[in-house]
Amino acid sequence: MNNGSRRFYPVILAVAVLIAQEGVPQAEAPDSASGAAIQGVVRWTGPIPKPELLKVPRDSKYCGATIPSEEFLIDPATRGVARVVVSLEGVPSGQPLPPASSANPVRVDNGKCHFVPRVQAAMVGTTLEITTTDPILHNTHSRKRNRFGETHVNVAIPASSPKVIRKPLHEPGLLSIRCDAHPFMQAWIYAFEHPYFAVTDETGRFELPKVPPGTYQMRLWHEALGTREATVTVTSDVPVRMDFELGLGG
């Protein structure tokens, strides 16, 4: 599915709400020189989509005749939406950045006819490591922006190969990762030139720590729903709450 083929409901539940309100546990506030955390939850509204069953054109004895799509990972208890990339735009330059190096790579494993993890975010300069644990041939192909973009890396990986393929993330932006041998396999990596990003966990929660005071654009990206933006203002060292609802549009 094209990553922009569906739309978010334009619902923003809370903007600039102090974390201490409404019974939310008080987080330990950093000092003013470090900045404040932006915390929140991304929740699903409406019926939870049922996974589409994708046909397996080859290696079905190992992968199975069909495999469920993994575009949506929604916790049925909390309705939290996992694998949403949350980031800030417009944060002043000159803030301290964590080191991005081969010592802290992002890894994509070809495992049981899936890419694991499916969605990640990292800083420019981080090394991408590609591995396999499957007893079948894979061909991992990452492209810039979408599945039709310029090739970033294209490598065949033999069955159960112990070799690790390494490729730096040189540019900011989105990488679409697919297996040319198994088109139902898909993953995404979003690269940033700053540290103000996070990926929501299995309950839809995220945190952007140590954000300096200011007004910024907060951007949400989901592989099946595209992007959504909202404005957030940080005025002190007190954590800020930003909650969102996502759903399928008409």
CATH number of the domain within which 144 lies: 2.60.40.420
Residues 207 and 239 in one domain: yes
* In a shared domain, residues 136 and 212: no
Residues 142 and 105 in one domain: yes
In this structure, are 80 and 134 located in the same domain? no
Are residues 109 and 147 located together in one domain of the fold? yes
- Residue 93's pLDDT is 63
Dmax over Cα atoms in the chain, in whole Å? 58
Q: Which among 173, 193, 213 is the end of a domain?
A: 193
Distance in angstroms (rounded) separating the CA atoms of residues 10 and 150: 32
Res 184: pLDDT: 94
pLDDT in tens, the chain (250 residues): 444 444 444 343 433 333 333 333 333 333 335 689 999 999 999 999 999 999 999 999 999 999 999 999 999 999 999 999 999 998 876 555 554 444 589 999 999 999 999 999 999 999 999 999 999 999 999 999 887 888 999 999 999 899 999 999 999 999 999 999 999 999 999 999 999 999 999 999 999 999 999 999 999 999 999 999 999 999 988 999 999 999 987 4
Write the secondary structure of the chain as one string of H (helix), E (strand) and C (coil): CCCCCCCCCCEEEEEEEECCCCCCCCCCCCCCCCCEEEEEEEEECCCCCCCCEEECCCCHHHHCCEEECCCCCECCCCCEECCCEEEEECCCCCCCCCCCCCCCCEEEEEECCEEECCEEEEECCCEEEEEECCCCCEEEEEEECCCCCCEEEEEEECCCCCCCEEEECCCCEEEEEEECCCCCCEEEEEEECCCCEEECCCCCEEEEEEECCEEEEEEEEECCCEEEEEEEEECCCCCEEEEEEECCCC
1 and 33 housed in the same domain: yes
The predicted structure's pLDDT at residue 104: 81
Tell me, yes or no, whether 28 lies in a domain.
Answer: yes
Is 118 a member of any domain?
Answer: yes
Residue 237 lies in a domain: yes
Instruction: Identify the domain boundary among 157, 178, 193.
Output: 193
Q: In this structure, is residue 158 part of a structural domain?
A: yes
Based on the fold, state whether residues 187 and 203 are members of the same structural domain.
no
Same domain membership, residue 206 and residue 185: no
pLDDT of residue 12: 39
- Of the candidates 238, 206, 212, 219, which has an alpha carbon nearest to the alpha carbon of residue 16? 238
> What's the pLDDT score for residue 96?
57
Residue 93: Cβ-neighbour burial (10 angstroms; 0-12, 13-18, 19+):
exposed
Position 225 in a domain: yes
Task: Answer yes or no: do 128 and 211 share one domain.
Answer: no
**Domain limit, last residue, from 193, 214, 234:** 193
The enclosing domain of 220 has a CATH number of: 2.60.40.1120
148 lies in a domain?
Answer: yes
57 assigned to some structural domain: yes
Domain count, the chain: 2
Assigned domain for 93 exists:
no
Say if residue 148 is in the same domain as residue 203.
no
Q: Are residues 217 and 240 in the same domain?
A: yes
Domain range enclosing 103:
99-193
Note whether 57 and 117 are same-domain residues: no
